[in-house]
Amino acid sequence: MTAQLRPNGTLRHLITLEGLSRDTLERLLERSQGFVRPLGTPPPLSHSLAGRTVANLFTEPSTRTRVSFELAAKRLGAHVVNLEVQLSSRVKGESMLDTVYTLQALYVDAMVIRDAEAGVPDSVAANVAPHVSVLSAGEAHVSHPTQGLLDALTIRQRKNRLEGLSIAIVGDIRHSRVARSDYHAFRTLGCTDLRIVAPPALMPAPDEFAGCSRHTTLKTGLKDADVVMMLRIQKERMGQADLPDADRYFAKFGLTPERLAGARPDAIVMHPQPMNRGIEIASDVADGPQSVIRDQVRNGVAVRMAVLEEALTGAASPGAAGAA
């Protein structure tokens, strides 16, 4: 695994939250919070990345995450190019590294990579020149670090801290990069009551998610929870193996107002989107007063601005001194 931090403790790459210290996460969250604006007011803007170039390398370009990274980069003054590439496979006989070297030779400063194949962002990071940063925008089922940060930021905005909170992550944990990055973020930031809630077929391997309690019903999983994080369930998995169809999934694991009532009265409801309304979550809940789903989107831009800025400017913030 390539080192993600520079010798001065600042972030150079962001491929996984695993192994990042609490100080580092706290600093990134603080930077991110500085970029948050209430909706209806102008977005944050700066010129700190003027003249820098960010390349979005997505296998499928029309995603909210691509737009979130693109706007984050543009609002910092960077040039952005979007490429639809399959880094994992060979396109026209060209290897992944030739694409990477080419982008580097075009003076690209940061490569934002979303790829279906595990290991690609780290392989790229291991091979780029010292001045280039690699930021994962979602890696297979393994990692989605900016999502983990934005989820942590969203919780902190509502609950101030993660210590002492009971957080339930519900749904297809086994295949979820969001769950894995949330796990690393929440645990590192002090959450000690983290619960994973899933039907047996969607539970992760026993050696993953150490320290989490496991629940196969919403009733026990949500009991007195402060935070309920619902995951998207892929329709394609429905009806497969031991997994029930959509209606039966909703009947057992769909978050309804009644079930949410089992959590704390001030519990917040989160979802990384896109949502399957009526499958993993009822619209009444998604659009209800406890939902912070739109805050998550807003915080996503802020987190990506913070990460891009620190990765590309390398400036050690005051809090970085003690960071590992």
Q: How far is the CB of 221 from a second copy (least distance, A)?
A: 23
* Residue 67 interacting with a second copy (CB under 8 A): yes
Q: How far is the CB of 151 from a second copy (least distance, A)?
A: 14
Report the candidate in 37, 20, 32 with the shortest Cα–Cα distance to residue 317: 32
Cβ closest to a second copy, residue 131 vs residue 252: 131
Q: What angle do CA 302, 308, 182 make, to 5 degrees?
A: 60
Cβ closest to a second copy, residue 305 vs residue 323: 305
Query: Scanning the structure block, which residue is given the tokens 């086994």?
Result: 174
Query: Scanning the structure block, which residue is given the tokens 């991110």?
Result: 32
Q: What angle do CA 257, 168, 188 make, to 5 degrees?
A: 150
* Residue 62 interacting with a second copy (CB under 8 A): yes
Distance of alpha carbon 9 from alpha carbon 141, whole angstroms: 28
Cβ closest to a second copy, residue 106 vs residue 261: 106
Cβ closest to a second copy, residue 41 vs residue 210: 41
Q: What are phi and psi of 167, to 5 degrees?
A: -120, 130
Q: How far is the CB of 165 from a second copy (least distance, A)?
A: 23
DSSP string, 133-169: EEEEEEETTTB-HHHHHHHHHHHHHHHS-STT-EEEE
Selected from 37, 47, 219, 252, the binder of a second copy by CB under 8 A is 37
Residues at the site binding a second copy, with contacts judged by CB under 8 A: 37, 39-40, 42-43, 45, 51-53, 55, 61-62, 64, 67-68, 70-71, 74-75, 79, 81, 83-85, 91-95, 98-99, 101-107, 129-131, 232, 235, 273-277, 279, 294-298, 300-301
